[in-house]
Every structure is written in structure tokens, then in C-alpha cells.
Amino acid sequence: MGFEIGDRSEKTAEKLYQKIKGIGAKIYYTDHWEAYNCVLPEARHKSSKAETYTIEGLNSVIRHFIARFHRRTHCYSKSEEMIVYTLNLFFHKRNYKCILNYQ
């Protein structure tokens, strides 16, 4: 769907929403991050940890395979640009692999 690099502010949530609002989602499931309540349309927003397990699993895979996202490590990125490049490359490769598996 999309990602946004930033702090946990309403401004960052707004940037993320601007990236994903055109995908045609009927409902946005989120955790209880308060900024989502300010940005997402109330009629299409549900806050529930029960519905976010898929993305939490993907976050775990990212932390596992990409050293700059490991917790408590010396491999980290000071450059937001490099984080964006890394995530785009990761998602491109992962999505391409998924497409090949369905053919």
C-alpha cells in the first residue's frame, strides 16, 4: 500500500493518507495511534489490533531481513533517503516474487 518516514505526528499520518487514499480501500484498519483519528475518514476507519496482524507480520519480516531496521543494533541509517531506497527495493523484490508465485 504505502509507507511514510517520519515521527508519530498528525503531519506524518496526513502524508501517509495522501499516498494511500487513491487505492480504493473501503475500510482502513489501524492500531490505536491517535494521529489516525485526525486524518482518516471516520466512516471508513477502524482502530483494532485484531485487524493489523498482517502488517505487523510484514514489519517483523522487514526487521528480520534489513539490518538497518533491527532493534538494538549498530546497523542503522541516518539518511531518510537511504531508508526510502531500501524499503522501495525490498517491496519491489517481495512483490515481484509474489507475482512469480501466482503465475
Predicted confidence (pLDDT) per residue in 13-25, tens digit: 999 999 988 888 8
pLDDT of 68 higher than 80: no
Indicate if the alpha-carbon torsion angle 35, 36, 40, 44 is positive or negative.
negative
Among 59, 77, 57, CA closest to 67: 77
Q: Give me the chain's average pLDDT, please.
A: 83
Question: Which pTM value belongs to this model?
Answer: 0.67
Domain boundaries, the chain: 10-102
Determine the pLDDT at residue 12: 94
The answer to whether the beta carbons of residues 28 and 3 sit under 8 Å apart is no
Residues in the chain: 103
On whether the CB atoms of residues 38 and 13 are closer than 8 A, the answer is yes
* CA 53, chain centre distance (Å): 12
